[in-house]
Amino acid sequence: AQKVTQAQTEISVVEKEDVTLDCVYETRDTTYYLFWYKQPPSGELVFLIRRNSFDEQNEISGRYSWNFQKSTSSFNFTITASQVVDSAVYFCALSLYNTDKLIFGTGTRLQVFP
């Protein structure tokens, strides 16, 4: 069975702290795709990143970075020097090669306090 687990329900940090959001996935497929989405208080879902299972290179985009480790089935997301605008619910998701569906984790609510 395929599954995405985001064990951290809620995280609170003070501005400028670094924070890592964990994502662990389960699948027996060798080809799959991992995603992160951001859902700010306004409610829309904003795409952040897509990674395929053959590309384990870490990625950095400004203050955001992603660490993909197949050995531990994890795709963690780090925000460096967090800002109040980073406050949102963050979802990790898994898409398999032979299906048309996206499997979401339950999300991690990040609150960044000034």
Partner 1 sequence: NAGVTQTPKFRILKIGQSMTLQCAQDMNHNYMYWYRQDPGMGLKLIYYSVGAGITDKGEVPNGYNVSRSTTEDFPLRLELAAPSQTSVYFCASRERRHTDTQYFGPGTRLTVL
Q: Please, which residue, 77 or 91, has the CB nearer to partner 1? A: 91
Q: List binders of partner 1 among 51-110 (CB under 8 A).
A: 52, 91, 95-102, 104-107
Q: Please, which residue, 74 or 109, has the CB nearer to partner 1? A: 109
Q: Please, which residue, 66 or 91, has the CB nearer to partner 1? A: 91
Q: List binders of partner 1 among 3-42 (CB under 8 A).
A: 32-33, 35, 37
- Provide the phi-psi class of 98: left if phi over 0, else alpha when psi is between -120 and 50, else beta: alpha
Pairing of strands 3-5, 24-26: antiparallel
How far apart (Å, rounded) are the C-alpha atoms in residues 32 and 69? 13
Q: Please, which residue, 71 or 98, has the CB nearer to partner 1? A: 98
How far apart (Å, rounded) are the C-alpha atoms in residues 55 and 41? 32
Q: Which of 43, 54, 61, 71 binds partner 1 (CB under 8 A)?
A: 43
Cβ-proximal residues to 111 (8 Å cutoff; 6+ apart), any chain: 10, 11, 12, 13, 87
Binding footprint of partner 1 on the chain (CB under 8 A):
32-33, 35, 37, 43-45, 47, 50, 52, 91, 95-102, 104-107
